[in-house]
Amino acid sequence: MSKMIAIIGGEAFAKEVIEVAEAVGYEIYGIFAKEEPSDTQYPYRGYLEELDEQKSNFSGVIVAIGAFNKKTIKARNNILAFLMSNDIRQISIISPFARIGARAIIGKGVYIAHNVVIAIDANIGDAVLINTGALIGHNVIVSSNSSIGSRVFIGGGTIIEKNVTIGASSSILQGICVGSGSTLGMASLVLKSLKPNSFVLPSPSHVISND
Ligand SMILES: CC(C)(COP(=O)(O)OP(=O)(O)OC[C@H]1O[C@@H](n2cnc3c(N)ncnc32)[C@H](O)[C@@H]1OP(=O)(O)O)[C@@H](O)C(=O)NCCC(=O)NCCS
């Protein structure tokens, strides 16, 4: 199988994904994004329509767009639907500095950033993104198309259903379930199961004084 891959996404996060991809031996065919990135050394190849036409030039793609707000959740879902309907293969990229526990299962099109720890017997579904330093407990299930922010903690045995966004530095208790389509704002603390499509926000810090 060729090590040539294509990157979808032209923002700073895509550069990080490229760095990790190259560290594990992939070569970059080019970037597919809505607009040409201004400062990349990799060729801009167009957007989704061009991706389909050029797919014989690479062995797979990785979606380097995190779903961390309304706009990017929609964009990522549209891209994943396009990849499915056009039978474009997604490849998984796992940082050499991530730790994957025994018997953990990792799906297709998964991105796992530096310093992520995935404990034993966890199950990571297709097209899941796990950002820097997240800790996924033992026997956790993260279902397809979910995005997990940096330094998120997910306790053992918890189930994250599909299309869930978990903002950076959030903590989720062990043994609960986060329903599909839910969005958890940055630094959420979740202690009970959430119904599908829940929108959760933490108490943000507030100014006590500024003198
Ligand atoms: C919570 C979060 C997902 C909302 O992002 P968003 O979709 O761009 O935010 P919007 O400003 O469009 O808000 C969405 C809705 O939530 C509401 N909302 C947002 N913040 C709110 C708050 N603090 N209190 C109450 N409502 C709030 C908005 O009013 C809006 O409602 P509407 O759809 O009826 O207009 C986002 O702030 C967040 O925390 N994302 C995670 C970021 C992150 O962790 N990034 C790093 C990843 S490594």
Q: Which atom of ligand 1 is nearest to the CA of 168?
A: 44
Domain that holds residue 157: 92-193
> Is the CB of 170 inside a 6 Å radius of any atom of ligand 1?
no
Looking at residue 41, its pLDDT comes to: 87
Is there a contact between 155 and 175 (Cβ–Cβ < 8 Å)?
Answer: yes
Looking at residue 38, its pLDDT comes to: 86
User: What separation in Å is there between the alpha carbon of 95 and the centre of ligand 1?
Assistant: 29
CA atoms within 13 A on the CB side of 207: 3
> Is the CB of 182 inside a 6 Å radius of any atom of ligand 1?
no
Number of domains composing the chain: 2
Domain finish residue from 67, 85, 103: 85
Domain finish residue from 85, 109, 126: 85
Residue whose CA lies nearest to ligand 1 atom number 8 = 69
DSSP state of 42: S
Q: What tokens appear for 131 in the block? A: 């950002």
Strand, helix or coil for residue 194: strand
Banded pLDDT at 15 (limits 50, 70, 90): very high
> Is the CB of 168 inside a 6 Å radius of any atom of ligand 1?
yes
**Residues 116-146 pLDDT 10s:** 999 999 999 999 999 999 999 999 999 999 9
Question: Which of 76, 112, 128, 186 best tests ligand 1's pocket when mutated (most atoms within 8 Å of CB)?
Answer: 186
Between the alpha carbon of residue 143 and those of residues 7, 46, 122, 137, the distances in Å are 22, 30, 11, 14
Tell me what the pLDDT averaged over the chain comes to: 96
Is there a contact between 91 and 109 (Cβ–Cβ < 8 Å)?
Answer: yes
Q: What are phi and psi of 75, to 5 degrees?
A: -60, -45
Tokens 């895509």 correspond to 14
**Whether 76 and 41 share a structural domain:** yes
- CA 99 from chain centre, in angstroms, equals 16
Q: Which atom of ligand 1 is nearest to the CA of 150?
A: 48
Comparing CA positions, the residue from 16, 19, 53, 24 lying closest to residue 32 is 53
Comparing CA positions, the residue from 16, 20, 40, 19 lying closest to residue 30 is 40
The CATH number given to whatever domain includes residue 122 is 2.160.10.10
> Is the CB of 69 inside a 6 Å radius of any atom of ligand 1?
yes
Rounded to whole angstroms, the Cα distance separating 158 from 192 reads 11
Q: Span 100-116, mean pLDDT?
A: 98
**pTM, full prediction:** 0.95
Question: Which of 17, 70, 165 best tests ligand 1's pocket when mutated (most atoms within 8 Å of CB)?
Answer: 70
